[in-house]
Structure 1
Amino acid sequence: MLKAEYRARGPVPQDVIEAVPFEKPTLGEGEVLIELLAAPINPSDVLTLTGDYGMLPPLPAIGGNEGVGKIIEQGPGVESPALGQTVLLPVGCGTWRTHLVMQADQLIQLPNEADPQQLSMVAINPPTASLLLSEFVELQPGDWVIQNAANSGVGSYLIQLAKLRGFKTVNIVRRESLIAPLQDEGADVVLVDGDDLAKRVKNAISGAPIRLGIDAVGDTATGRIADSLADEATLVNYGMMSGKPCRISPASLIFHGITLTGFWLAKWFDKASPEQQMAVYGELTKLIAAGKLQAPIDSVFSIKDIKEAVALAAEGGRNGKVLVKA
């Protein structure tokens, strides 16, 4: 049994984490032993290792914030979930380990017939994409949405969910090689970022108004999205891939009435009721199980190769998510 542990944080994320062996634990009352099926490496995971994320666990810690596993052993008093059942691992529990011990009554059962690699990514990026589309602007079928970092995990889910809800998307990327893959996912318009972005967006959609913009990059990229929006539109920032603060012109704020706001899934969880959370996850899980919602996967590593996995995830320039498994 192995766990991906880090005892310090530093600028090179793969240097601070390593696969460490541990003994098989004895199960207590109400506990189950879970074997990891798959867990993603998200940008937030990399930022946690470097110390740049908004919420940092105490050290030492085990990496990974989401994933799925299957029940392989039941402790005293456990009847459900059954052996072999696929379960969603609690968010933030340190999922990068071959095996986990959890309280059985804290686990959400998932469809065994669904692809576990796709299910492993359900906890963070899909609800982020879903809520970005629903919480800020009351969109109607046929409305346009613009986003940058469109090839990211959230970006991919947003394209698919927007199409399922009848919205149209303008998707901004950093290189031309990403255009065709996003069009294959259902993106209506894909453009490479640049100084004349607003003009090219206007031409691509024949001047249709865009009332919702979504930014994961920050710096001047935020301003270029703002310049592409209709007056009184809302621009939501949920990431800082550039490593720099959002830069938006006073003209956008004052003369065009653009509202710039932020979104963090953890804060939404703090305020949302259990019923609201289950409604979001219920919809997304059904879509994934039906094959209507999925994310591209770049590669899958074993926990023993966690350094290589984190290095690849931190590099960027991929066309899919990096996952780890037992």
Structure 2
Amino acid sequence: MNKIILTAVGGNTDETVALVQEPTPTPGADEVLVAVEAAPVNNADLLFAAGWFGVYPQVPNAMGAEGVGRVIAVGAGVSSSLVGERVLVLPTFVQGTWADQVVVPVSTVVPVTGKADPLQLAMLPVNPATAYSLLHDYVDLRAGDWVGIDMANSAVGQYVIALAKKAGVNVLAVVRREETVPLVRELGATLVVVDGEDLGDRVAQALDGKQLRLLLEGVGGTEPLEQLARSVEAGGTVVAFSAATGQSPALPLADLIYRGVSLRSFFILNWIRTTPRAELERIYAELAELVEQNVINATVEATYPLAKHQEALAHAARTGRTGKILFVPAGTTR
């Protein structure tokens, strides 16, 4: 069995990430053995390897946060009815999904429809779940309300736009590059604005008197948050879900204190830990059905076998990339 491990924290992944062969693992009590069908390369995986993520690696550390596959064996205490079922593997950053097969606690898998595209299902545990929580857990949004999001062409942004469109919620999308505007418009964003000079004025002009009930912030630092916060309604909410700049988000004092705009945050591992199991199963089942119906999806730029992991990681690290990179079994790449 092949799997990818992290051998050292930091440095170039050419030197710190390796493909190793191990005997096929056997599930213990309350565990399942999953044959992996697809596993994405997320920015969080690259940050994890660099030691810059919310979980610090314990090398040698199996790589790969999320994925999808079929249960092929179960340990004591697990119903044999799970064998043959397609399941999502939820992220723990302990059991890696960049592998032919992986043993995980049964508590970290969720059965899903076997009919949808496995590439799309493999990406459900992190980004779509993040988008779902951002739209449901902070503000009681109704059809006709306005939500703003920067990094709108990111995977999370794409899912936010699709889910908001389905709910009749308007989206003001902010992107960094002009060439991504058509993609975001096609996804269903109500308004699209390119980041840059006079961003706050251009956003206010585009909204034409309307205000944002919720702003989803993924850049970090003071820009563009300082500009976008001007269009958040008094008493509105900003939720930080990422920090592309590596800086903490900062709300202007006038918005924070005088206008009562609140700044909150989201972290997928905390959400998985604190959400009741029944609710997790309901949400992931709903998201899987939306994948099957082609309501939500993310662009896939390339797939790679595990043996080409260095090419895959280099591709995932490219600037200007427009789609996701995934590992799939050898012979099934596309």
Note whether the superposition's TM-score is higher than 0.5. Answer: yes
Deviation (angstroms), 1:136: 1.3
User: Hey, what does 1:36 align to over in structure 2?
Assistant: 36
**Rounded Cα–Cα distance in structure 2 between residues aligned with 1:124 and 1:95:** 13
Deviation (angstroms), 1:174: 0.7
**Rounded Cα–Cα distance in structure 1 between residues aligned with 2:30 and 2:220:** 45
| 2:156 pairs with one of 150, 154, 157 | 154
| 1:165 pairs with one of 164, 167, 178 | 167
User: Hey, what does 1:69 align to over in structure 2?
Assistant: 69
**Rounded Cα–Cα distance in structure 1 between residues aligned with 2:322 and 2:114:** 27
Deviation (angstroms), 1:213: 0.4
**For residue 88 of structure 2, what is the amino acid of its counterpart?**
L
Deviation (angstroms), 1:270: 2.7
Distance 1:71 1:268, change over 3 A: closer
Q: Tell me whether 1:202 sits opposite 2:236 in the alignment.
A: no
Deviation (angstroms), 1:170: 0.7
**Rounded Cα–Cα distance in structure 2 between residues aligned with 1:132 and 1:105:** 23
**Rounded Cα–Cα distance in structure 2 between residues aligned with 1:64 and 1:201:** 38
**Rounded Cα–Cα distance in structure 2 between residues aligned with 1:3 and 1:241:** 29
Distance 1:283 1:23, change over 3 A: same
| 1:272 pairs with one of 264, 272, 275 | 275
User: Hey, what does 2:225 align to over in structure 1?
Assistant: 222
**Rounded Cα–Cα distance in structure 2 between residues aligned with 1:186 and 1:197:** 21
Contact residue 80 and residue 104 of structure 1 kept, 8 A = no
Residue 280 of structure 2 aligns to a residue in which SS?
helix
**Rounded Cα–Cα distance in structure 1 between residues aligned with 2:252 and 2:323:** 33
**For residue 24 of structure 1, what is the amino acid of its counterpart?**
T
**Rounded Cα–Cα distance in structure 1 between residues aligned with 2:312 and 2:184:** 24
Contact residue 147 and residue 225 of structure 1 kept, 8 A = no
**Rounded Cα–Cα distance in structure 1 between residues aligned with 2:25 and 2:130:** 34
Identity of aligned residues (%): 34
Aligned length: 325
**Rounded Cα–Cα distance in structure 2 between residues aligned with 1:42 and 1:205:** 33
Q: Tell me whether 1:233 sits opposite 2:224 in the alignment.
A: no
* TM-score (structure 2 length as normaliser): 0.90
**Rounded Cα–Cα distance in structure 2 between residues aligned with 1:177 and 1:36:** 35
**Rounded Cα–Cα distance in structure 1 between residues aligned with 2:283 and 2:33:** 27
Residue 94 of structure 1 aligns to a residue in which SS?
coil
Distance 1:268 1:104, change over 3 A: closer
User: Hey, what does 2:55 align to over in structure 1?
Assistant: 55
Residue 317 of structure 2 aligns to a residue in which SS?
helix
Deviations 1:197-227 (A, max 9, x none): 1211122222211111010110222222212
**Rounded Cα–Cα distance in structure 2 between residues aligned with 1:289 and 1:108:** 16
**Rounded Cα–Cα distance in structure 2 between residues aligned with 1:230 and 1:91:** 35
Deviation (angstroms), 1:261: 1.5
Indicate the larger mover: 279-288 or 13-22.
13-22
Indicate the larger mover: 170-179 or 253-262.
253-262
Residue 289 of structure 2 aligns to a residue in which SS?
helix
* TM-score (structure 1 length as normaliser): 0.92
Contact residue 31 and residue 104 of structure 1 kept, 8 A = yes
| 1:248 pairs with one of 243, 247, 251 | 251
Residue 56 of structure 1 aligns to a residue in which SS?
coil
Distance 1:309 1:69, change over 3 A: same
- Higher relative contact order structure (alpha carbons within 8 Å, sequence separation ≥ 6): 1
User: Hey, what does 2:332 align to over in structure 1?
Assistant: none
Deviation (angstroms), 1:298: 1.3
Deviation (angstroms), 1:195: 3.1
**Rounded Cα–Cα distance in structure 2 between residues aligned with 1:22 and 1:267:** 31
User: Hey, what does 2:313 align to over in structure 1?
Assistant: 310
**Rounded Cα–Cα distance in structure 2 between residues aligned with 1:113 and 1:91:** 22
**Rounded Cα–Cα distance in structure 1 between residues aligned with 2:260 and 2:79:** 57
Deviation (angstroms), 1:307: 1.7
**Rounded Cα–Cα distance in structure 2 between residues aligned with 1:54 and 1:301:** 27
Deviation (angstroms), 1:27: 5.9
| 2:139 pairs with one of 134, 137, 140 | 137
Contact residue 215 and residue 225 of structure 1 kept, 8 A = no
**For residue 112 of structure 1, what is the amino acid of its counterpart?**
G
**For residue 201 of structure 2, what is the amino acid of its counterpart?**
K
**Rounded Cα–Cα distance in structure 1 between residues aligned with 2:172 and 2:284:** 26
**For residue 253 of structure 2, what is the amino acid of its counterpart?**
P
Unpaired runs of 5+ residues, structure 2, are 330-334
Q: Say what the alpha-carbon RMSD is for the aligned residues.
A: 2.2
Q: Tell me whether 1:287 sits opposite 2:290 in the alignment.
A: yes
Residue 124 of structure 2 aligns to a residue in which SS?
coil
Unpaired runs of 5+ residues, structure 1, are none
Distance 1:21 1:160, change over 3 A: same
Deviation (angstroms), 1:232: 2.0
User: Hey, what does 1:324 align to over in structure 2?
Assistant: 327
Residue 82 of structure 2 aligns to a residue in which SS?
coil
Distance 1:176 1:66, change over 3 A: same
